[in-house]
Every structure is written in structure tokens, then in C-alpha cells.
Amino acid sequence: MSGVIIAGDTSGSVTLQAPAVAGTTTLTLPATNGTIVTTASGQTLASPSVTGTMSLNGVNVSPYTMKNRIINGAMRIDQRNNGGAVSGSPTYPVDRFRQSNNGAGVLSGQQVSDAPAGFNNSVKWTVTTIDSSIAAGEYYQFEHFIEGYNTADFNWGTANAQTVTLSFWAKASQTGTYSVALANDAGDRSYPSSYTISASNTWEFKTITIPGATSGTWLTTNGCGVGIRFGIVYGSTYTGATANAWMTTSGFANAFITSTNNMMSTLNATLQVTGVQLELGSTATSFDWKDYGQELSLCQRYFIRMTGRNHGYVRHDGSFNSFFVVPTLMRTDQPVGTFTTAGSFTNFQSSTASSPSSFTVQAESKASSRGWIYIGCTLGSYSAHSWIPSWESFQFDLSSEL
């Protein structure tokens, strides 16, 4: 049998070609639009509706460009410390994850290479000074704040609020129950939950499904859309919540689950976390890996460490101004700037040098809308209206963290 050609109402056509096999193959047209069924195999061909994860050649891939709303969930990016340990509060052992403590004990946080299969890094918190008796107002926690633009489709605060699932890997030296909670920026809506470490010093995968919040104010622009707080231990001011139910709170009073152990009472006790993912839906799917360069760029929206050489101009008031282009648009136009290394200014014509004594990101900066900033410094060796051809060996940080 030769092919059957069906002409369209344009210059094209569709050809139905009979297979080169013996016997008869029947093609049954559907009774409704959109489906073709072959009676030989019963296979249905239809336009797919894809949710969650689909498989391509045995590899799970996501149909979404940013399934995971967590940035740096695999703990790969550490611009501030390059793998070094940090303590105090607030500090960032890796980008986008902040440790926040209020108590007599000390936690040291650090990016390490110990991780579950499929991951290369985790963050490890170690108790370096114990706090054996937690006062009511004390707390030890680490946090991740998601920008409102990245959670707007959750529709939280409305009748169309979407369910989400939080998943992560955890490893601890002490077994027991640990607290975790999601909250809005105002801190008056909270969803307290918990996870259990069943075996010490063993990587365990944890999932928590959170129904959408139908009340409260949830920011959908460049403020904090959703905050996630992983509790190490909380004082009684913050505990006593009912697990796995949305609640109204004020200042996070009684907004967390009571942990079954006080990790802070044991010197060198540890907790590690990696593979943190927050996604739409009621099922945890495979981790949403991003290209390393893309992940770094996402982190730099909130923090950038600038180094190198530049030039600038001494204004009439004696202050030095220099112009910088930032590698990505930041969250705010005027990020907070701090020196880590001041460097030195050199005017080769007059053979004079000076180091800046202050640092300010000027109000006319447009780090969010235009991608550039003006830096203002104070120096003493140069006359007004001088051109400084070389500012060398500086290092400064720009932060627009939530």
C-alpha cells in the first residue's frame, strides 16, 4: 500500500505511510479531540502534562528553571571564608545561610567536604563553647531567607495558597528531635515542624510538607518572602508550638518545637546539613542542580567580594569617589559596604600614596537597577579635584542580604 497524503488548507500536507510489515495494522481515530490510540499496542499519544520531575534517558530533569527556591542549597559557594571556620552572630559559613545565636555558648560553622552521595559539600556546626543551661531568651539557629520575587507563585496569604515541600540531608553527633520552621517577614505567621536524627554520625534524608498559608502578609518583591529557620536549640520563650500547623505569633514567641536534646551542652557536638530544597508540591523530588556559574551569580545578588585595582577622583570636600560595575544586579541599589583590606591610593605624578580611612557606598549607586556603584572614601594626602590613577590591593564586601 502506498502512502495516503492529506492536504491541508496551506501549501503543506500530512502523509500517512503504511508500515513495511505483513498483516494488518489498524489506526483508530479518537472519539474526542487530542488522542490517538493504536489497537495493536493500546498506547496513547497525547499532549503531556508535566509536573514535578521527568526522566530523560534515565536521568531525572525538572521542567522548571528554578524548581528549588533555595540558593546554594548544596553549600558549594563560600565567598567570604573560602572554607574557613566562622563563629559569632550573625555570620555566614557559606553564602545565603546565616547562623544566628544569642547565648553564652559558641558555635563554629564551616564548609566541609563531608557530604552524602551525590554532593561534595555540607555546612558543619561544631560546639566550641558549651551552654549547658539554656535561658528562656537564648537561641542557636541557622537561617535561609528567600526573596519574595522567588516565592510569589506560592500565593501564600490567599485562598489559592500552594503546598510546598522542604527536603534536606542532615547528620549529627547526637540523636534526637531538631526544630525547623517557616515564617513570613513580619514574624507573625509561622509553621513549626521538626525532624529526627535516628542514628548518630549518619547522613539521613529528611522531608517536610507544608500546606500553603492562607492568611498573613507574604512579601512578593525584593523583601523576604519566606524565612526558614533550622533550630539547634531554643529557650522556653520560643518553644511550645504545636507541630505541623500554621500559627499566629509575635516576635517568634512559642513559635518552635522543643528539641529533645541540647546539643549546646556537649563540647564538640556537631550538626551538618546539605542538599536543602524547597519546591512546589507535596513530594520531594531529586535535587535541582544549577550550573556553578549560575549558582555563584545568584549568590552575588546578595553578597559580592570585590578585589583588584581601580581609579577615581578626589572631590572638592577631600573625599575620594570611585566607580565600579558589579558582576550581577544586586537586591538593593545601595548595598552595605565594608572594607576587609583598604589598599592604597597612588598618584604617580606626585609620587605620593595614601590609604583610605573610611568606606561608604554612595546614595547615587544603582547596584539593583543599573549594575554599578559609587564608593566614597576619606583620605588625607591629596588636594581637592585630584585624579587618582591607581587604587591598589583593596578588598571590600558589598552586602544586600535579607
| pLDDT confidence of residue 57 | 46
**Residue 121 grid cell:** 559539600
Residue 309 has what pLDDT?
86
The predicted-structure confidence for 353-362, as pLDDT tens digits, reads as follows: 677 778 899 9
Specify the higher pLDDT residue, 111 or 65: 111
| 364 and 248 belong to one structural domain | no
Lowest mean pLDDT among 206-215, 271-280, 306-315, 383-392: 383-392
Range of the domain at 193: 86-297
Q: Give the Cα separation of 347 and 370 in Å (integer).
A: 30
CATH number, domain containing residue 218: 2.60.120.260
Split into its structural domains, the chain has a count of 3
On whether residue 37 sits in a domain, the answer given is yes
- Contact between 186 and 230 (Cβ < 8 Å): no
| Distance of alpha carbon 92 from alpha carbon 81, whole angstroms | 8
Listed residues 61, 77, 100: the one ending a domain: 61
List, for residues 80-124, the tens digit of each pLDDT value.
999 999 999 999 999 999 999 999 999 999 999 999 999 999 999
At 56, the pLDDT band (50, 70, 90 cuts) reads: very low
> Is 74 inside a domain boundary?
no
Whole-angstrom Cα distance, residue 359 to residue 365? 14
Asked whether residue 19 falls in the same domain as residue 39, the answer is yes
Cell reading at 182: 517557616
* Other CB atoms within 10 Å distance of the CB of residue 377: 25
Instruction: Looking at the structure, tell me whether residues 185 and 323 fall in a common domain.
Output: no
Q: Which segment of 22-26, 123-127, 174-178 scores lowest on mean pLDDT? A: 22-26
Averaged confidence pLDDT in the chain: 88
Q: Read off the pTM.
A: 0.85
In this prediction, residues 158-181 reach a mean pLDDT of 98
Residue 127: pLDDT over 60: yes
